[in-house]
Structure 1
């Protein structure tokens, strides 16, 4: 193959080698928490869940008071997404809607509280459960001992960057915080009630009660000459 030459000097023309292409930048994995905006809370008894709007495809149930995002509705079905990106279908009628979206950046929290006491209680509950779980998996305790060690423990936390949702088990409510203050986000019980208290009975109605049955023996019909 003839090497190209310079037309003026007749010397061979030297071509520079093409620079290798730069490697493509690695694509960061998608953050499951990005874009997660809780719209509802799972009721206090938890919720069964399905892989699709089909009763023949059950999946793991949802824990009580879990914040979820309602993505779609199909009749009585509701498609939800959890903070870790996991999606499922539930009975959308049973989801508890939050009263309002969490405060946005730059908007002050109303009725704010110091987050440190609730953070400390949450961390203590998680530490106690973690220690009991370690003892259980290591064979240092049986099922009954594990049940007793974890009895009454309640904690809930969703952490998303500077935002945090904490469950306050003493008041039956979810709190939203920005690192410096907490504000009520969603409640799980009526005003003035504790989450462990039974529901109050329905008030008595003003309807007239039905008369009680007579206490005397029933009347009998007898024929002539009977005693």
Structure 2
């Protein structure tokens, strides 16, 4: 496991929608904390089916690399069709989810909330955000997708569900980007 800062973090993959077991070494006998669903990660090294990934906070672990969901090499273009014109509503919702979680954590730490009530208060909260200078990757739980933003526009980067051509979602068509073994 690495706790070193992660300058220049560039997500190359997303953890599958059900999360992903993780290991300290490419050895099934050394499990560690599993990775959260839809967490963006950077693939650092491959050893057969094993993949060493780094998270935006610098933490790293070994995972089954066959299960990682690949994302496009470059963030999508944010000009023209396919982008959501204003990132502020999604940022506001993300800020509220973080504030709700923080409030519950503070109450739990103060002893005014027990573990069961904490679980009830935080159930359904989902938040994911990576900010790297002007670039931002933000999870939109209402749409089940990661979006890329450059400060002006948001564009779908990866999604945890398939979208058919028949749906009118109000944003660019998206698709599940999966490794060969999961197609």
TM-score interval, smaller chain: 0.7 to 0.9
In 1, are the aligned partners of 2:15 and 2:69 still within 8 Å (CA)?
A: yes
Question: 5 Å matches for 1:56-71?
Answer: 56-71=29-44
Q: Does 1:166 align with 2:138?
A: yes
Equivalent residue number for residue 161 of structure 2? 189
Equivalent residue number for residue 53 of structure 2? 80
Q: Does 1:121 align with 2:93?
A: yes
Higher strand share: 2
Determine the C-alpha separation between the residues in 2 that align with 1:46 and 1:101.
24
Determine the C-alpha separation between the residues in 2 that align with 1:85 and 1:147.
27
Size of the aligned set, in residue pairs, is 161
- TM-score, with structure 1 as normaliser: 0.66
Equivalent residue number for residue 108 of structure 1? 79
Mind listing any 5+ residue stretches in structure 2 that lack a counterpart? Answer: 168-183
Distance change >3 Å, CA 135–CA 109, structure 1 → 2: farther
- Bigger relative contact order, structure 1 or 2 (CA pairs below 8 A, ≥6 apart): 2
Distance change >3 Å, CA 36–CA 110, structure 1 → 2: farther
Determine the C-alpha separation between the residues in 1 that align with 2:19 and 2:55.
14
The alignment's C-alpha RMSD in Å is: 1.9
Q: CA deviation at 1:100?
A: 4.4
- TM-score, with structure 2 as normaliser: 0.81
Determine the C-alpha separation between the residues in 2 that align with 1:191 and 1:42.
19
Q: CA deviation at 1:175?
A: 0.5
1:126-171 CA distance string (max 9 Å, x none): 1001001111111001122112211211111111111111101011
Higher helix share: 2
Mind listing any 5+ residue stretches in structure 1 that lack a counterpart? Answer: 1-30, 194-227
Q: Which has the larger radius of gyration?
A: 1
1:48 to 21, 24, 30: 21
